[in-house]
A and B are shown apart, each in its own frame.
Chain A
Amino acid sequence: MTEKAAREIGNMDDYGYSEIVSLVNSLEKNETGLEPYRIAFLRNITIDPMLPYLKLLCFREGMRPEVYMGEYDNVIQEAMDSKSPLYGFQPSLVVVVLRLNGLSRILADDFLGHSPGEIDDERDRVRDYLFQVLTSMRKNIDAPILLNSFEVPPYTDLGILDYQRAGGQGNTIRALNGELREVANRFDNTYIVDVELLQSRIGYGEFVDNRLWHIGRAPYSREALKLLAVEYFKFITAFRGRSRKCLVLDCDNTLWGGIVGEKGIEGIKIGTTYPGSAYREFQEAIIGLFNRGAILALCSKNNFEDVIEVLEEHPEMVLSKEHFVAMKINWNDKVSNLKAIAEDLNIGLDSMVLVDDSEFEAEMVREYLPDVEVIKLPKDPTLYKDILMSSGLFDSLNYSSEDVKRGSMYKAEVKRKEARGGFTNIEEYLGSLGMVINVAFADKLTIPRIAQLTQRTNQFNLTTKRYSEADISGLSNSDDFDILYVSLKDRFGDMGIVGAAILKHENGDSDIDTFLLSCRALGRGVEKVLLKACLDASRKRSARIIAGKYVKTKKSKQVEDFYQRNGFNTIRSGEGESVFSLDINLAQFEVPDYFSDIVSEV
């Protein structure tokens, strides 16, 4: 059995609860070769019935989930005990599940029995408790932490008067949730899971199951547990740098109602009245994702002219030709088209999502391209927007100005590829691009993008270490570290920041902790400019030796000999990791001469 077998699980919604339990049991027995992902739970409620959902999602993405379930209502004790099995477990992720009625009877169940002063003290006590839990955990582990926010009671202590008062029970708990977020923001890699929002998706009546609470201290319904598992998994996906990048859309009955080849541009449904308004709403949601940083492509079995006419001429279309970086509008099968899109854009199939209303197309793509996530739309277009947004496939934990520009950057890349066709000699082609490189030290404005690169870059990444913005900030402020980045533009467009390196200077030598390049900048020699900058930065510190490491991952095989190819000596070569070093004074390092300009701060 392989990772591929794990991936063929398909859609979790197709399985009943007991089937999922059985499937997870057999996966646990058989899939012993997968990469382990250790999830620890600290909790004051029974949360075990959620595990089959979360475990199935992990297996589906080729991870072997291992769970540590902390003792019931022992959260702060375990967090503060450095010898706790929680830490011995070496979690990849810690989830803190605290329900307010267990943590504060006063706020949850006896609000009116206390004076405003006592309520304020109680709020402080809860906030301090959580601060203490997080502080203790951060003394012991760097792993990401998720913290559930508190449910707001559906029937508050003052009834209809409650909301009118800032100090009412509902508003007090809402304000406390806001404070939770502030507390979490003070720690690295620590995030709030918005339980209030999850609850609002299906309603309190569907979310909380009071029978199970009283019988087994398990307050959440099966639907709620599934929602929680899906939400936790969105975070896990983001931590692993596996957020999807490219949304591929069908046209007929996806972007508009009807088949343009049959009904013509006048006959399709897109506009301000039903059902066209539903399709318009869907297009607006897609533009939202575009603004978030997703790149868009079309894949439709149609005559090219018919679709282009709609994109360019139809007055009610929200999406236009400009939004798409690739358009495969032809009569070829979608599998071939998707592969071509992946190749054109130089992205993996596992970063793509296909949205299509056809069961046939969806099944075929699922069968032949299991790495592509497929969303099959139902008949009712008024459901489309929520189906797309609830998938969370493009959710990530950073958002920078580069994300807004991403679509146009990919379009420029396509133009570059077209220009490439005219040259026989690669150096001539690269010289013709008029590339200008900037090398500089990280600062407040560039830190978000650098952090994002460490989280998303999988191929040209020597050590695949993931850093949050707070991490990069901290290192940047430290005297022992240099954080360098390179940005690239050419005559087709500005690619922004495309690479970064983190240097650690210790005991008179330098160590390259992180060295990576975005896939959009590969094949141009930009890495040589960055490597030279690392040498220069180390030379400035009077370092004698610069060392680099290659940590083996499935996706980074192309750089396993990067240091060797650039003149480093191999110090140690192993199965998982190799170490290289270079004497800085002996280094003879040349940067390609086809760059138009290299501006370096180093």
Chain B
Amino acid sequence: MDVEETVKRIVSDLFEIPVGDLDDSTSPETVEKWDSLSHLNMVLALEEEYGIRIDDNDIVEMVDLKKVCSKVREYLGR
């Protein structure tokens, strides 16, 4: 179960970007459709996918794709 692959699929679906264009530095600064509202949608999608519940302070710390993946791994490891 590759976390990076799944996270990229979800992000690609939500922000309308081809998976190939995504990398560690992908962030709200580089992606037009990644705003505060769609950030919440991303949280909803990740929680649904993994059956986890992400703490509020972790939600705001997911500032780029690298952070998103590492946070998800943290929750899966817990």
Contacting residues, chain B, for A49 (C-beta < 8 A): 37, 40-41, 44
Complex Cα spacing A279 to B49, Å: 34
Contacting residues, chain A, for B16 (C-beta < 8 A): 22, 25
Q: Is the interface of A mostly helix, strand, loop or mixed?
A: helix
Complex Cα spacing A43 to B60, Å: 25
Contact B37 A46, beta carbon cutoff 8 Å: yes
Complex Cα spacing A215 to B16, Å: 24
Instruction: List A residues 427-454 near B (Cβ within 8 Å).
Output: none
| Interface 9-mer from B7-15, B20-28, B67-75 | B7-15
Tell me, yes or no, whether B30 is within 8 Å of chain A by CB.
Answer: no
Complex Cα spacing A218 to B49, Å: 20
Contacting residues, chain B, for A25 (C-beta < 8 A): 16
Contacting residues, chain B, for A22 (C-beta < 8 A): 12-14, 16
B45 partner, pick from A16, A48, A211, A216, beta carbons under 8 A: A16
Contacting residues, chain B, for A215 (C-beta < 8 A): 40, 56, 59-60
Complex Cα spacing A48 to B12, Å: 19
Contacting residues, chain B, for A216 (C-beta < 8 A): 36-37, 40
Instruction: List A residues 204-231 near B (Cβ within 8 Å).
Output: 211-212, 214-216, 218, 222
Complex Cα spacing A214 to B36, Å: 13
Pick from B12, B41, B42 the residue with the most CB of A within 10 Å: B41
Complex Cα spacing A496 to B43, Å: 55
Q: How far is the CB of A579 from chain B (nearest CB, A)?
A: 46
Tell me, yes or no, whether A19 is within 8 Å of chain B by CB.
Answer: yes
Q: How far is the CB of A227 from chain B (nearest CB, A)?
A: 14
Tell me, yes or no, whether B48 is within 8 Å of chain A by CB.
Answer: yes
Contact A16 B40, beta carbon cutoff 8 Å: no
Contacting residues, chain A, for B45 (C-beta < 8 A): 16-18, 21
Contacting residues, chain A, for B36 (C-beta < 8 A): 216
Contact B41 A16, beta carbon cutoff 8 Å: no
- Sorting the interface of chain B by its residue count into under 10, 10 to 19, 20 to 34 or 35 or more gives 20 to 34
Q: Known contacts being A211-B56, A211-B59, A215-B59, is A18 close to B40, with CB within 8 Å? A: no
Contacting residues, chain A, for B29 (C-beta < 8 A): none
- Sorting the interface of chain A by its residue count into under 10, 10 to 19, 20 to 34 or 35 or more gives 10 to 19
Tell me, yes or no, whether B5 is within 8 Å of chain A by CB.
Answer: no
Contact A21 B14, beta carbon cutoff 8 Å: yes
Instruction: Select from chain B the residue with minimum beta-carbon distance to A222.
Output: B44
Q: How far is the CB of B1 from chain A (nearest CB, A)?
A: 15
Instruction: Select from chain B the residue with minimum beta-carbon distance to A26.
Output: B16
Complex Cα spacing A426 to B48, Å: 61
Contact B56 A18, beta carbon cutoff 8 Å: no
Q: Known contacts being A16-B45, A215-B59, A222-B48, is A21 close to B37, with CB within 8 Å? A: no
Complex Cα spacing A17 to B47, Å: 10
Instruction: Select from chain B the residue with minimum beta-carbon distance to A218.
Output: B40
Q: How far is the CB of B10 from chain A (nearest CB, A)?
A: 4
Complex Cα spacing A4 to B45, Å: 28
Complex Cα spacing A46 to B55, Å: 19
Contacting residues, chain A, for B9 (C-beta < 8 A): 18
Contact A17 B40, beta carbon cutoff 8 Å: no
Contacting residues, chain A, for B13 (C-beta < 8 A): 18-19, 21-22
Instruction: Select from chain B the residue with minimum beta-carbon distance to A48.
Output: B37
Q: How far is the CB of B46 from chain A (nearest CB, A)?
A: 9
Instruction: List A residues 42-76 near B (Cβ within 8 Å).
Output: 46, 48-49, 52
Q: How far is the CB of B62 from chain A (nearest CB, A)?
A: 12
Contacting residues, chain B, for A211 (C-beta < 8 A): 55-56, 59
Contact A16 B59, beta carbon cutoff 8 Å: no
Contacting residues, chain A, for B49 (C-beta < 8 A): 16, 18
Instruction: List A residues 158-217 near B (Cβ within 8 Å).
Output: 211-212, 214-216
Contacting residues, chain B, for A212 (C-beta < 8 A): 40, 43
Contact A16 B14, beta carbon cutoff 8 Å: no
Complex Cα spacing A17 to B37, Å: 14
26 contacts between A and B (CB under 8 A): A16-B10, A16-B48, A16-B49, A17-B44, A17-B48, A18-B9, A18-B10, A18-B11, A18-B13, A18-B14, A18-B42, A18-B49, A21-B14, A22-B13, A22-B14, A25-B16, A46-B40, A49-B40, A52-B41, A211-B55, A211-B59, A215-B56, A216-B37, A216-B40, A218-B40, A222-B47
Q: Closest 4 A-B residue pairs measured CB to CB?
A: A22-B13, A18-B13, A18-B45, A211-B56
11 new A-B contacts, CB < 8 A, other than A215-B59, A216-B40, are A16-B10, A18-B11, A18-B13, A18-B14, A18-B45, A21-B14, A22-B16, A46-B37, A49-B37, A218-B40, A222-B48
